[in-house]
Structure formats: structure tokens, C-alpha cells
Amino acid sequence: MLGFPRLAGLPAAYLQQQMREFANGRRASPIMMPIARALSPRQIEALATLYASRAGRSSGTGTLAGPGSDADARSGAGHSATFALGERLANRGRWNDDVPACVQCHGMGGSGVGSHFPALVGQPAAYLQGQLRAWQNGSRDPGPMGLMGAIARKLSDADVAAVADYFGTGAPAVPDLQAIARSRPIPAGLPAQAGATQPAARTFNPPPDAAMPAGEMGQTVRLGEQIFDNTTQYAPGYVGNRLRCSSCHLDAGRKANSAPLWAAYVAYPAYRSKNHHVNTFAERLQGCFVYSMNGKAPPLGDPILVALESYSYWLATGAPIDPNLPGRGYPKPARPHLPANFKRGQQVFIQHCALCHGADGAGQNAEDGSMAFPALWGDGSFNWGAGMAGIGNAAAFIQANMPLSQGGTLNDQQAWDVATYMDSHERPQDPRFLGSVQATRAKFHDSVDSMYGRRVNGHLLGGGSVPVH
Amino acid sequence: MLGFPRLAGLPAAYLQQQMREFANGRRASPIMMPIARALSPRQIEALATLYASRAGRSSGTGTLAGPGSDADARSGAGHSATFALGERLANRGRWNDDVPACVQCHGMGGSGVGSHFPALVGQPAAYLQGQLRAWQNGSRDPGPMGLMGAIARKLSDADVAAVADYFGTGAPAVPDLQAIARSRPIPAGLPAQAGATQPAARTFNPPPDAAMPAGEMGQTVRLGEQIFDNTTQYAPGYVGNRLRCSSCHLDAGRKANSAPLWAAYVAYPAYRSKNHHVNTFAERLQGCFVYSMNGKAPPLGDPILVALESYSYWLATGAPIDPNLPGRGYPKPARPHLPANFKRGQQVFIQHCALCHGADGAGQNAEDGSMAFPALWGDGSFNWGAGMAGIGNAAAFIQANMPLSQGGTLNDQQAWDVATYMDSHERPQDPRFLGSVQATRAKFHDSVDSMYGRRVNGHLLGGGSVPVH
């Protein structure tokens, strides 16, 4: 209540790191700094291990707090404007300012992810608020890749209070998207920070959740949004990995230059060289399931496709029918002067990507078991037929949008290098496999942009699972 | 060549009518007027019967002229601007000025329809040009319902020359839609006539044919247009009558307030009370085949549906996603003060509708066998499940668009009366038939707008085929 954090259940590595930063002054605390300096590294390690081993506090509704708890009641129709703001920032972010949702890194319900993204739920609101302020005023190290420092500086006082209160008083394990949809649009945040990669003012703005229609159409649109953000849960049987649609289409399909749904919707039907005929939007959606989700296509007319099409349609409200709407897809970076290179790409990956996606590219789950960071290669990733398995597409997505909330960080060379590195690892077979890698490459991957069928570090890509590099 | 018309094969009733008009001065001709006055009615009848019995001239390509003829060569890529203008006016009209295509009344290839719409093909260009000028300057009676007088006055000198030349030199039996699509947009016609029911300037303008994309997408769009206008030919197996999509969606789906495709495209997915769920555009198209075309639905993903969806998408280029675009559907007239009445409706029908649709409502075919005017009831019409079997829909369509090129002619009372008359006749069974008319009415037609299950002149509507009234 006074702003002292709960330590039980936090990752040992995270706790040790904080103690080191209290000791060296990169994290300020009149109480903790002298204590941290008085402890030896072995003592710090022992304490961190002790606290990490204790049971932490899980998220609210459905776990410790359970239905009918205060948190549950607050998420109902009568909850306060502060709660609604916190709920929205926590679960949706404010991508117009490049503020990701808290749960994108800290896991569903703020349950925590790995060693670098501690649980938020169960921490006192006063502590969370204090830390966001510390990042704002520079008295706490901005953290890995400066992520939290940059994000905190985009939050207003009201934002800080709301999000701290949301997690501090027991966030629901699963956000109530319908409540979020009913709530008022988020107030504008602070003025844009210098260097923030905001979508150009010219790009289309999809309508706010609060404008969702009522009745059956509204229910279908909301179902589409839920499928989009929790694909494994809402489209079981059609997904072969644990990715979400929103893994590649940020801000639940709203973000310009991150393959927004509104731009895709108004661009179909269209001819696709991928399958040599005119595809409707529904058929295009099927492709995502087959390739990016490494699953199988829901049949045309399936409620899953209808809901996703309805959600996309609604996001496009007011957009003109136009196959080339600004903001569509990903803006492709220029080909760099040096040929893309695996080794240089590996260095970029270690520096900018591994924190979230893991050194093995396998992604990370949250403490509650949900997928937090998608697998970039390996059995749990998109397959060789996915658009993201094309180096050009991957370079474009990465440069525009990665690291999360820091799009525009990589130069053209870095983007192509790291995309080449990513797509030089084994991943699930192309579902169009013709029986041999050579034939499949000739028919579907005969492009400088595809590593399929090429040999990297002795392994023939497309030839089957191997230990990741 | 000097402007004397070919008489052989023209309808006897038409020939007699013309002779009577030469005699009474409503049609001016220094040569024919004295001759007509010198002949007795029996002599005129005998002459008309004689000429009508002689073989007429059919349309060009594919019939008399055959492939490789002059007409065929002219329809190729190198044809003149005059030919292109004539071809377009003949086959597409210029609906922005409420000028219908010539072939809509005179039949495919200008082959002629019934007693009132004589063949155009095979008449000398000089004759056709002379008659259009006569209608323009009032020296020829404007014809039934004043149709030709009003249309001719909307044509420029260039229009008149082009369309006369097109038919006078042997129009192709089947227009070359691809050539039309390649041709330049039609030049603007004369200034709008007073009283012309032009679409409001605020409504969306679909792109001109000439803007159709190239490549596979263009082919698919053009196929959609062909299906739309020649549905029986291009969607065999899925239509149970001889209507065209363009029978209800005028100007090939372009005309505002005539259920234009561009407005429908941007309005789906949407919830429909008709089937109690959210329908995609593709599912909505399926409904047209099942009900309006009294056929069966092409399966989702069928090239017919993909082509129609692509054509609709392309017509909507630049239109905003908006379920309520101005011009959508038909503007519903106010309910009149007097309850709609069968007998009054019958009088309206005889005066304004029977000329084209026939006193028996069965429509008319052109001399070449193609459907010219759609059947409004009876076995060859849309079935009881079609939107047009709802009196409100029918009244709206009729008031906005009928008689062809004279939309806005009927007042609210007349529109509701004639719609009630039309929908008080038997037509094919509702495909959702539940085994009894009563049960089917209760579930699907429980509306003041449906005559299904009601008894008219002793017949239970929906109860099966009966002689038309």
C-alpha cells in the first residue's frame, strides 16, 4: 500500500538485476540503495532465488480473485472512467502514440514473461505508479533497449494512475473486450515524443471501438476482434501454432504499415500471383490460416471467416475502395548495398530481437501459459508458405514495426540482414510441398527473397526439422 | 441508302400503325402521307400482313453477316470512335441522362421485340438517323408513352449519327463487351432535359468501363459484367428463369436508386433479418440466385460469385465503406392515403407497364430469342422469396425506375397500387416452403407487404400455378 513491491514469484534474474542497479545507482531508492550496496553478489543471488521460489500473485478474475471479486465487479458496465482507461491501455495500448498494450510484453493479465518482463498484477498500485514516474523522470534505468523509459514518457499523469490502478487492484486474467468496446475512446495522450514513429497523418484512421454497431452485426464484429487477438482460443482446429493474427497485424489490425485490416479489406478481390487467380477477401483470410497460422483453412462461409471479414469491414468504415490505400501492408525498405548476411543478421537479432523472441527464436510464453512473444522459426512458427517467410516481407515488417513500439530503429541493411537471419532457419514445411525440396522451391520459391531449398550452415532449408542455430 | 426503310419482316401491327399515322399527319413524310391517305384500312392491313410475312434482316455477326464480315471487323480493336460511341449507346445506353440502351427495348442486336419495338438492324442508317431527327423536331409522333420522343431529345447529333450507323451497317448479334470496355468513355450528351430523373449529383459515380484494370483482375471484372447482363448464358445451372441481374439493377448495376452494386458492395457484411445472421457480400449474391433468379446458389468460391463480387468491387472503386451510401437500394415511396388496391393497380399496369411486360405480365422475347422484357409474374418470374415479391420493394423500384427511362412517372398511390397488382399474381414457390402455405406465410411472409398466402380473386397465392389474371 505504501509502494513497496511484492517480490514473491518475480524472476530471480530480474530481482538480481534490480539489486545491482540499486547498488550502482541506475535505480534510485533511499531505502534500497544502501541495502543493495551492503550485500555481496552471492547474498543477492540467494535472496533472489528465495523470493523467486515463493508463490506469486496471479491475476484477478478467474484465478485468485475469482468471479464476483472486486476486480470482476469493476470490469462490469458500471466501472469507472479510470478503470476503463487502465483496462484499455493495459490490453490495447495506444498505438497512435506507439504505446503497446502492457500485456503484449508482460503477458495476458499482466502475469509476467520470462526474466525481463515481471508480473504487474499483484504489485501495489502505488509501486507501479512510482516506477512509471521514475522512468519518466529518469531516476530508474530505462531498462532493456530503453523500452520502458520511452513508453513511460508517452503516458500522461492520468494514464499512469489508471494503468497502475488497473494492475494494482487485480486485473482480470482475460480482459473484457466487450467492456473495452463499450468504454469511451481513450483520451489523447501527451504530445508526441520526438522520434516516435507515428503513422503518417495521411493514413486512414479506423473507427474507435466505441463506435462498434449494436446487435448481431456488433456481436459478429466483436467476435472477429476476439478471434484476431486470441486466435488459438477462438479458432481451434484451424491453427497449427500459437501465433495470433495480431502478432503480425499490430494494434489488432489497426496499425498503418503493419498490414492493417482496413487497407486489406478495401484491396480485395484482387489477383494474387501466389495462386494465380483473383482472390476474394475471404480466400485471402484462408491463406493466413494455412500459412501464417500453419493450420488449415476454415471453409468459406464458416462463422470464423465471416466474423473476421466483418471485423475487417467495420475497421474500414469510411475508407475508400482502393487497392493502394496509404498504410497498406508494410513499406518495403530499399535493398541495401551489401548483400544480406546471416552473420550480421545474427548480431542484429541478438541486440534487438532476442530479448523478447528468445535467442532460439522460439518466442516466450507468459506465466499464465498464454503466448506472449511469437516464435520466429522452428516448429511453433509460421510455415515456409507464409508471407513472412519471404525475406522482403519480413524486412519490411521488421523495419516498420520492430522492436515493438520502436519501429524505424533498424536501417535498411540491418532490416534485410536480420530478416535473412530469421528466414535462414528451419520452420514447418510448406503445405504445398511437392515431394521434394527442389521441386517445391522451383514452383513456389524461385525468388531471391526465399531461403527455402537453400543450404545454410550445412542444412538444406525445407528439408526438415533440425536443431535451431 | 436514301433513307427508305426496309419493311420486310417488321411487325404487321407496327406497319399498320405507321400507315395510320402517315394518314393522320402524326408522322410526316411528303411521299408516304398521300399514299397512306389513299389506302383503305383493309388495304393497309393486307399490305402490312404481306410485308410482315417476308424474311427480315437479322443482326450482323453470327447471323447473316457472319464472322469476318465488315461489322465483325469494325467491332475489333481498330474500330472508329463513331462505331465505339454507337456500340456503347446501343448496348449500354447513357444512364446518367436516363438514356437506356437501344437493345433494352429493341432486343439483343436490335433484332426487334413484339409489335411496338421494331427491328433496328437491317434498316438503312439514313432512315434511322432521319427518324431520330423526326422525333427530335416533333415531326414524328413520340410513340407509345412518348418513349422515343423523350429519348431522341437526349441525343446529340454525334449520338444520332453513331447509333444510326451502328445498326444501319449491321450490328453484331452479341455486343463485344470487351471492345466496349476498351473504348473511350462516352462524350457528354446534351444538357439534361427538364424533368429527366437524373441521379442526384451527390450520389457516387462508378468508374467508366475504360478504367477497368488489365490482366487477370480485369478479365474477372469483365466476366462479372457479362454474367450480370447475360445471366442465363453465363451462369447456366444456377438460374431458373430468364431474368438478368440487370433486370432489376439497371445500367449493369451502376444506376443510383436502382440497387446499384457499388452501394451494395460497401454495405456488406451486414445482418439480414431475412436469414437472421450476418451475411457476407458473397452470401448476399447467393440469395439473388435462389430467389430473384429462381435458381440455386453457386457454392461459395465459385468463379461466378468471385466474378460478380469482383465486378461489384471494381464498380465501387473510390466509394467509402458505408452501409448507407446515398443511392443504395430503391428510395421507398411514402405509404399512400388509400390502401393499395388491385383494381387501381391493374389500370396503372395497363397504362404504363403492359406495353413492355405484356398484358399477361409474362414479359417479351426479342426476335433473336433472347429475353427482352422480364416476366413480372408467372412461371418465368422471380419466386415468392425474392425481394421484389415484397410490395414495398416493388413499389420503390417501380417508382424510381419505371417505365424504363421514365422513372418518377408514378405517384406514391400509383406505385403502391401497381406493385400490389403485380405481387397479387401467382409466381414460383418460395424455396423455403414449409409444406403448407399457411406455415410458410407465418414464418417468412408475416408482413403487410406480402401477398403470399392471401386469397385474391378466389386464388390462394403461393398455392400453385393458376391462369394469370
Per-residue DSSP letters for B187-206?
PP-SPPPTT--PPPTTS--P
Q: Which CATH number fits the domain A342-460, given the four candidates 2.60.40.1170, 1.10.760.10, 1.10.10.410, 1.20.1730.10?
A: 1.10.760.10
| Per-residue confidence (pLDDT) for residue B210, from 0 to 100 | 84
> Which backbone phi and psi does A404 adopt, to 5 degrees?
-50, 125
Give the closest of B277, B282, B319 to A321, CB-based.
Answer: B319
Q: What are B44's three cell numbers? A: 393497309
| Per-residue confidence (pLDDT) for residue A54, from 0 to 100 | 87
Rounded to two decimals, what is the model's pTM?
A: 0.88
Nearest chain A residue to B308, by CA: A269
| Per-residue confidence (pLDDT) for residue B464, from 0 to 100 | 81
Q: What are A375's three cell numbers? A: 516464435
| Per-residue confidence (pLDDT) for residue A195, from 0 to 100 | 40
Query: Do residue B306 and residue A269 have CB atoms under 8 angstroms apart?
Result: yes
Distance (Å) from the alpha carbon of B305 to chain A's nearest alpha carbon: 10
Query: Do residue B217 and residue A310 have CB atoms under 8 angstroms apart?
Result: no
Residue A192 in this model has a pLDDT that exceeds 60: no
Query: Do residue A309 and residue B217 have CB atoms under 8 angstroms apart?
Result: no
Q: What are B4's three cell numbers? A: 427508305
Distance (Å) from the alpha carbon of A284 to chain B's nearest alpha carbon: 12
Cis, peptide link before residue A333, omega less than 30° from 0: no
Residue A194 in this model has a pLDDT that exceeds 90: no
Residues of chain A with pLDDT > 90, as a percent, come to 78
Q: What are B441's three cell numbers? A: 406465410
| Per-residue confidence (pLDDT) for residue A20, from 0 to 100 | 93
Give the closest of A266, A270, A306 to B321, CB-based.
Answer: A266
Query: Do residue A317 and residue B322 have CB atoms under 8 angstroms apart?
Result: yes
| Per-residue confidence (pLDDT) for residue A138, from 0 to 100 | 93
Query: Do residue B271 and residue A322 have CB atoms under 8 angstroms apart?
Result: no
- Identify the three-state secondary structure at position B294: coil
Query: Do residue B321 and residue A322 have CB atoms under 8 angstroms apart?
Result: no
| Per-residue confidence (pLDDT) for residue A172, from 0 to 100 | 72
Residues with Cβ within 8 Å of A129's Cβ and at least 6 positions away in sequence, in order, are A3, A160, A161, A164, A165, A168
Q: Beta-carbon neighbour count of residue A343 at 10 Å?
A: 8
A314, A220 contact by CB (below 8 A): no
Give the closest of A271, A282, A300 to B217, CB-based.
Answer: A271
What value does the mean pLDDT take over residues A25-54? Answer: 91
**Structural domain boundaries of chain A?**
57-182, 214-315, 342-460
B140, B28 contact by CB (below 8 A): yes
Cα separation, B193 vs A397, in Å, equals 56
Please name the CATH architecture into which domain A214-315 falls. Orthogonal Bundle (1.10)
Residues with Cβ within 8 Å of B375's Cβ and at least 6 positions away in sequence, in order, are B241, B242, B243, B357, B361, B362, B363, B381
Cα separation, A224 vs A234, in Å, equals 9
Mean pLDDT, rounded, of chain A:
89
Q: Which residues of A touch B275 (CB under 8 A)?
A: none
Distance (Å) from the alpha carbon of A317 to chain B's nearest alpha carbon: 5
| Residue B456 bridge partners (DSSP) | B459
Query: Do residue B306 and residue A220 have CB atoms under 8 angstroms apart?
Result: no
B426, B464 contact by CB (below 8 A): yes
Please classify residue A67 by burial: count the beta carbons closer than 10 Å to its beta carbon, then call 0-12 exposed, 13-18 middle and 19+ buried: exposed
Distance (Å) from the alpha carbon of B62 to chain A's nearest alpha carbon: 31
Residue A10 in this model has a pLDDT that exceeds 70: yes
Please name the CATH architecture into which domain B57-182 falls. Orthogonal Bundle (1.10)
Q: Which of B307, B98, B65 is nearest to B197 (CA)?
A: B98
Pairing status of strand B277-279 against strand B364-365: unpaired
Same-fold call for A57-182 versus A214-315:
yes
Query: Do residue B278 and residue A217 have CB atoms under 8 angstroms apart?
Result: yes
Residue A83 CB-half CA count within 13 A: 20
B interface toward A at CB cutoff 8 Å? 215-217, 220, 265-266, 268-271, 276-278, 280, 282-283, 300-301, 306-307, 309-310, 313, 316-322
DSSP of A306-332: HHHHHHHHHHTBT-BB-TT-TT-S--P
Distance (Å) from the alpha carbon of A424 to chain B's nearest alpha carbon: 33
| Per-residue confidence (pLDDT) for residue B190, from 0 to 100 | 38
Return the residue in B305, B321, B322, B324 with the most chain A beta carbons within 10 A, the one to mutate for interface testing.
B321
Report pLDDT digits (tens) over A399-445. Answer: 999 999 999 999 999 999 999 999 999 999 999 999 999 999 999 99
Q: Which of A12, A43, A38 is nearest to A23 (CA)?
A: A38
Cα separation, B452 vs B437, in Å, equals 8
| Per-residue confidence (pLDDT) for residue A391, from 0 to 100 | 97
- Identify the three-state secondary structure at position A455: strand
* DSSP conformation class of A139: S
Q: Which CATH number fits the domain B211-315, given the four candidates 2.40.50.100, 1.10.760.10, 1.20.1630.10, 1.10.3470.10?
A: 1.10.760.10
Expressed in angstroms, the distance from the first to the final Cα of chain A is 46
Residue A46 in this model has a pLDDT that exceeds 80: yes
Q: Beta-carbon neighbour count of residue B439 at 10 Å?
A: 12
Residue A84 in this model has a pLDDT that exceeds 60: yes
Q: Which residues of B touch A309 (CB under 8 A)?
A: 269, 280
Q: Which residue has the higher pLDDT, B208 or B282?
A: B282
B294, B380 contact by CB (below 8 A): no
| Per-residue confidence (pLDDT) for residue A465, from 0 to 100 | 61
Report pLDDT digits (tens) over A137-177. Answer: 999 999 999 999 999 999 999 999 999 999 988 777 666 66
Sign of the CA dihedral running A299, A302, A308, A311: positive
Nearest chain A residue to B273, by CA: A216
| Per-residue confidence (pLDDT) for residue A186, from 0 to 100 | 47
Cα separation, B376 vs B354, in Å, equals 10
| Per-residue confidence (pLDDT) for residue A169, from 0 to 100 | 81
Cα separation, B406 vs B414, in Å, equals 14
Helices (H), B138-244: 147-152, 157-168, 177-182, 215-229, 231-234
A286, A275 contact by CB (below 8 A): no
Confidence tier at A187 by pLDDT (50, 70, 90): very low
Mean pLDDT, rounded, of chain B:
89
| Per-residue confidence (pLDDT) for residue B128, from 0 to 100 | 95
B420, B451 contact by CB (below 8 A): yes
| Per-residue confidence (pLDDT) for residue A68, from 0 to 100 | 38
Return the residue in B223, B275, B278, B322 with the most chain A beta carbons within 10 A, the one to mutate for interface testing.
B278
Q: Which residues of A touch B316 (CB under 8 A)?
A: 321
Query: Do residue B322 and residue A322 have CB atoms under 8 angstroms apart?
Result: no
Q: What are A281's three cell numbers? A: 477477401
* DSSP conformation class of A427: -
Report pLDDT digits (tens) over B409-444. Answer: 999 999 999 999 999 999 999 999 999 999 999 999
- In A187-316, beta strands by DSSP E: 270-272, 277-279
Return the residue in B313, B314, B324 with the most chain A beta carbons within 10 A, the one to mutate for interface testing.
B313
Q: Which residues of A touch B270 (CB under 8 A)?
A: 217
Q: Which of A93, A205, A218 is nearest to A154 (CA)?
A: A93
